[in-house]
Copies of this chain bind each other. A is one copy, B any other.
Amino acid sequence: MTRQIQLYYKNALSDIVTSEHGIRIDELTALSVRITEITADMDRQRKAGKLPYRDLPYQDKIVSNVKALTHKLAGKFDNLVVLGIGGSALGNIALQGALSRPTYNLQSERPGPRLFVLDNVDPVQLADILDLLADQLDRTLFNVISKSGQTSETASQFLIVCQLLREKLGQDKLADHIVATTDAKSGTLRGIVEKQRLTSLLVPDGVGGRFSVLSDVGLFSAAMCGIDIESLMAGARDMDERVKTGALTKNPAALYAVLQYLFYLKGKKLCVMMPYSYQLKDLADWFRQLWAESLGKSHDLSGQLVNVGPTPIKALGATDQHSQVQLYREGPNDKVFTFLAVENFDRDVTIGSAEGIPELKYLEKQKMSRLINSEKLGTEYALLQSQRPCLTIHFPRVSPYTVGQFIYLFEVATSYMGQLLNINTYDQPAVELGKHATFALMGDQNYRDLQRKIQPISQLDDSFLI
């Protein structure tokens, strides 16, 4: 049995779901030259230092630094609270969800502190978590993650936490309870680190938040919770070997991107990722940011207005069979499905006796692992009967090694997809306006012009309120 995750694409092809809804082999072949070119181009970019995310798994210093710090902090904390949002949170959540046990925070014995990732500014949620931690602050570590330190969500949480630590433990204890992950040299948070002599980790140079999980950003909380980050990086490196080739049918990242690109051109603009594994559900959220923020762009590289971008959708098997599959089978045929399937689950449960219940005899003494995998196949079969194209990423098991592969695979697939769409994969210009509008609405005097512009919509017009 292979230890590698694999992409299965037969059920996305025209032979299976008709040539109207599936991809023909000659459509794939027609793009193979382009893939060879893009691969060479990406290789040049990488050598010129323009794709630093590709090299993160090779930087031994990342792992050794993180491990040195977690070693130093071991046993000192019962709670770790990550303050971060977007790319500074989704990777942490995904690693914890996939690689720590589902009831981790509820267990009395754990390999590390409880983990809370605060990736919002909801006052009720925040107040409640602070209440929970109130009498354990001396055993609580905060990891604030922000490249600039100016992200308003993270900055506001950070100011709240600093005030709390000062009040409850004293200014001199601040540095014992904060690890700041930020830019190496500049920015608001870096300035605070220097002034307050905080322990710090690095947001790597030139790596956008959504590509940063395999750096200090994602690895510190994982290592604190006992996750094997070396295997994670080994998985990413081994995937790198597989996605370096310019041969389309040998490169799962390129092939995944080409399939999605062709589906996009056919009008299937919704990409449903549906793990049949509770552990993998948060990886679908991580993918959702990676795919949406990288590929949703108004202009292409030649400056043409294109308003392009597939919409990633997270679903969960088997749960969403009872929520979304009716639509998926009978609604518009505008979706491509990517299942995540697990061959060997780390735990299993045997279904009990069905004595006296003949309708349920077929379940008796069977394994839950067989049931969930049968549900996946049953749903796929039903979708194929309705000519809905299906891809599957097969995990031999869920482990740091396979999760590392998955992350790297989808990062590189995103790069390919961006090149195929001819857009800038690595920027996010449209996010700025909302940020500035928030500054304006919070009364920041540097944004007075914007305050005036927002004024008309900030007052509700009663004639349209019912």
Contacts and interface: CB of A to CB of B under 8 A. Distances in A.
A442 B374 contact: yes
A325 B357 contact: no
Contacts of A307: 330-333
A283 interface: no
A277 B122 contact: yes
Contacts of A328: 296
A51 interface: no
Interface in A231-289: 249-252, 255, 269-270, 277-279, 285, 288-289
Given A382-B437, A431-B321, A292 B326 contact: yes
Given A293-B327, A327-B309, A435-B378, A357 B130 contact: no
Interface string A183-219: 0000010011001000000000000010000000000
B85 A101 contact: no
A431 B379 CA distance: 9
A464 B38 CA distance: 22
**Which of A188, A325, A439 gathers most chain B CB within 10 Å?**
A325
A327 to B, nearest CB: 3
A9 B188 CA distance: 39
A68 interface: no
Contacts of A160: 349-352, 368
Contacts of A380: 457
A102 B129 contact: yes
B288 A382 contact: no
User: How big is the A interface, by class?
Assistant: 35 or more
A324 interface: yes
Contacts of A330: 296-298, 307, 309, 429-430
A123 interface: yes
Interface string A15-52: 01000000000000000000000000000000000000
Interface stretch (A56-64, A150-158, A399-407): A150-158
**Which of A128, A251, A461 gathers most chain B CB within 10 Å?**
A128
Contact of A102 (B125, B331, B436, B440): B125
Given A352-B159, A377-B457, A466 B252 contact: yes
Contacts of A150: 359-360
18 contacts: A13-B464, A89-B319, A107-B132, A119-B319, A122-B278, A123-B349, A124-B278, A126-B368, A153-B322, A159-B352, A160-B368, A162-B352, A162-B353, A293-B327, A366-B442, A377-B457, A381-B434, A381-B437
